[in-house]
């Protein structure tokens, strides 16, 4: 029987479990005791670490998630033959390295192909504009792009590890020699954290790498494959807490037709159309119909109803639909087996300096190879010119070791010409020279080869000494050959926020029931006030000198007080002027005032008077264009009173705040 304990090590009894058989040994599986606290703690941490390190978050060394790295290595190792290869075939081969099924590999491969940097595609790979999915892997093909072949692979400088089942070697990280992570962007949700790095323009990234190596400042902004407009004033270098706003590009074909030609980041035409139709159903905008004419480029045609303003509709599309969206970056990467949060500038600096280190490592390896070639050519020339192979001790040697010792002795006078001490492996190579090669030995051709090797060695040594300049030339080469194929698609501009209430269609009506003290859009049959939308606020003035601003709802109680004015409220409206004459208290003097209301706290009650008990508004008017009328004041007759009435012009009174 299995005994189960909670975190406090208290036994939890289960009446439906069989009783312990005392005849079973203590180590029998049925007698094992498990502690839930330790089990779940260990399992959860193991799972969380696995998801963070091996699935969801890219590694800073090469900017790839493990599944992406395995796909690219598979394409390089098994399918780098210059021909297109079936995606299903690549997926199947990648499964030898990947602990998961083919679905995750196929999806990751399609996403890599859609980004356009590393894989040349053929067939239906889906459409990032419409959101259409790619065809099945058995129908589509792909191969490594020229950019991938030049920048991702070098087996001589790659660190290796065993695959999950120990059957294959796979790279710890690919030697990526450009800012791949920032070019492609990435998004992943792990356990307890997420990573979201927005894509950037390749040419701008390469220019920033050059600027960093030259000690110059640089600034990076996202660039989305769907184009659109972007406000990156709050991008904050892609760090946590930053934000960008992305808008669709909307053209006005005529006063009755609009066309969306570029999409905001992360949106497809189908998702955009759905959001527009929902806004139309809710009355936020008024459209006649909408057509999706997207092919190679986005083209969503919006036909407006008669009498609808196209300019106001464009603002409403940004305010109420997915034509404007916000994105919050979160540059999280794996660095030294830990998740860290950096800015995109930090990621670019790291990538640039790692590229410099990788290029230096490649140069050192190539230098050693050239030196080995030079040494081998020198030994071969001496072996042939000095006719060592014709020496009697060499020809009559009874063993290989005896022949090698003779060759070693004969080479001693020439030791000063060698770039390093001669080893037995070098001597063995001399014994492997065929007689036909000796007979065809051409001294002028050999000297030309030696001279070229000397030039190559000198050039490599210079590049290693001046590795920064060499790295700059590398980025300039990439910029010249590849950046023109990836022009910037997203236009960087600044746009202010659109106030939704100003562009919302007045799709409802506001009513008031004075007797019961209710206002709302659902009080049909009561006194009509004005047209409004469900986003609007209403301003209400009462006879006792108080007023408030409240949100328009279906039905709302405002109190059993006399309402002298109610209307739709517009914030920051300085044109509407309120003219008031009120009595301060029951028998105090009368006061006159002019004011506007540009903004208040919703549902907070304000007072026009001096808040004396019994105060009452005697005259009230609201003028949308700030007109100032004249009122006639009639005085109560008294003895010897000459003036019984006079006129007062409100224009004589200064306009002040409430």
Q: What are phi and psi of 262, to 5 degrees?
A: -140, 150
Place of tokens 């498990």: 34
Angle (deg, nearest 10), helices 269-281 and 310-320 = 110
Q: How is residue 220 written in tokens?
A: 């990076």
Q: How is residue 335 written in tokens?
A: 């660095």
**419-428 burial: b if 16+ Cβ within 10 Å, else e:** eeebeeebbe
CB-facing half-sphere around the CA of 621: CA atoms within 13 A:
13
Determine the 3-state secondary structure of 619 from DSSP: strand
Q: CA dist 641 to 238, 244, 417, 636, Å? A: 78, 72, 132, 9
Contacts of 558 (CB under 8 A, 6+ apart): 517, 518, 519, 540, 548, 550
Positions marked active-site: 139
Beta strands in 373-459 (DSSP E): none
Instruction: Quote the DSSP letter at residue 59.
Output: B
Classify strands 630-634 and 590-595 as parallel, antiparallel or unpaired.
Answer: unpaired
Helix (H) or strand (E) holding 473: helix 467-482
Q: Are 91 and 113 in contact (CB under 8 A)?
A: no
Angle (deg, nearest 10), helices 102-115 and 87-94 = 130
Beta-bridge mates of residue 195? 188
Q: Are 130 and 269 in contact (CB under 8 A)?
A: yes
Beta-bridge mates of residue 593? 580
- Alpha-carbon distance of 235 to 331, in angstroms, equals 12
Please choose, from the candidates 510, 513, 592, the residue with its C-alpha nearest in 3D space to the C-alpha of residue 557. 513
Helix H segments across 195-268?
A: 202-213
- Alpha-carbon distance of 614 to 584, in angstroms, equals 7
- Alpha-carbon distance of 223 to 198, in angstroms, equals 8
Q: Are 379 and 236 in contact (CB under 8 A)?
A: no
- Alpha-carbon distance of 276 to 289, in angstroms, equals 10
């Amino acid at each position: 029987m299995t005994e189960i304990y909670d975190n406090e090590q208290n036994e939890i009894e289960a009446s439906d479990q069989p009783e312990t058989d005392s005849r079973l040994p203590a180590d029998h599986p049925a007698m094992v005791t498990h502690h839930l606290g330790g089990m779940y703690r260990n399992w959860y941490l193991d799972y969380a670490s696995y998801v963070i390190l091996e699935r969801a978050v890219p590694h800073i060394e090469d900017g790839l998630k493990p599944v992406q790295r395995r796909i690219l290595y598979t394409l390089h190792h098994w399918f780098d033959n210059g021909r297109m290869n079936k995606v299903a075939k690549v997926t199947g081969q990648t499964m030898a390295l990947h602990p998961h099924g083919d679905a995750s590999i196929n999806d990751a491969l399609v996403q890599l192909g859609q980004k356009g940097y590393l894989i040349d595609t053929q067939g239906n790979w889906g459409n990032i504009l419409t959101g259409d999915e790619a065809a099945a892997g058995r129908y589509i093909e792909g191969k490594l792009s020229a950019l991938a072949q030049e920048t991702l692979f070098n087996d001589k400088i790659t660190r290796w590890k065993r695959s999950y089942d120990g059957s294959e070697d796979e790279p710890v990280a690919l030697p990526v020699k450009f800012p791949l992570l920032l070019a492609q962007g990435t998004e992943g949700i792990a356990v307890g954290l997420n990573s979201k790095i927005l894509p950037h323009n390749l040419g701008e990234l390469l220019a920033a790498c050059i600027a960093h190596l030259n000690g110059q400042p640089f600034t990076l902004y996202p660039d989305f494959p769907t184009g659109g407009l972007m406000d990156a004033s709050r991008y904050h270098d892609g760090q946590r807490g930053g934000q960008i706003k992305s808008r669709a590009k909307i053209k006005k074909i005529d006063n009755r037709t609009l066309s969306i030609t570029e999409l905001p980041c992360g949106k497809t035409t189908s998702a955009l159309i759905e959001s527009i139709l929902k806004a139309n159903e809710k009355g936020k905008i008024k459209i006649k119909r909408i057509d999706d004419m997207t092919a190679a480029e986005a083209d969503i045609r919006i036909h407006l109803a008669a009498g609808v303003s196209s300019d106001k509709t464009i603002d409403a599309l940004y305010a109420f639909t997915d034509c404007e969206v916000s994105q919050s970056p979160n540059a999280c990467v794996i660095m030294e087996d830990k998740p860290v949060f950096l800015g995109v500038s930090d990621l670019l600096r790291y990538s640039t300096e790692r590229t410099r280190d990788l290029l230096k490592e490649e140069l050192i390896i190539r230098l050693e190879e050239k030196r080995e070639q030079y040494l081998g050519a020198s030994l071969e020339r001496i072996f042939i010119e000095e006719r060592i192979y014709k020496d009697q001790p060499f020809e009559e040697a009874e063993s290989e070791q005896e022949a090698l010792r003779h060759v070693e002795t004969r080479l001693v006078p020439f030791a000063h010409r060698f770039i390093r001490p001669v080893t037995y492996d070098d001597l063995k190579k001399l014994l492997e020279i065929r007689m036909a090669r000796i007979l065809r030995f051409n001294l002028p051709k050999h000297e030309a080869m030696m001279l070229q090797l000397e030039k190559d060695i000198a050039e490599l040594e210079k590049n290693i000494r001046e590795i920064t300049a060499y790295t700059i030339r590398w980025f300039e080469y990439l910029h010249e050959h590849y950046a023109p194929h990836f022009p910037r698609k997203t236009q960087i501009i600044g746009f202010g926020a659109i106030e939704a209430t100003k562009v919302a269609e007045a799709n409802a009506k506001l009513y008031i029931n004075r007797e019961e003290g209710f206002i709302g859009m659902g009080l049909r049959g009561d006194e009509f006030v004005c047209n409004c939308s469900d986003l609007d606020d209403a301003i209400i003035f009462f006879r006792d000198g108080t007023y408030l601003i409240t949100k328009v709802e279906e039905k709302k109680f405002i109190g059993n007080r006399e309402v002298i004015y109610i209307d739709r409220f517009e914030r920051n409206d300085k044109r509407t002027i309120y003219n008031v004459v009120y009595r301060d208290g029951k028998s105090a003097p009368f006061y006159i005032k002019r004011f506007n209301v540009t903004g208040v706290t919703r549902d907070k009650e304000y007072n026009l008077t001096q808040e004396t008990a019994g105060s009452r508004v005697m005259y009230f008017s609201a003028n949308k264009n700030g007109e100032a009328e004249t009122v006639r004041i009639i005085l109560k007759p008294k003895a010897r009173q000459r003036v019984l009435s006079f006129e007062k012009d409100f224009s004589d009174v200064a306009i002040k705040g409430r």
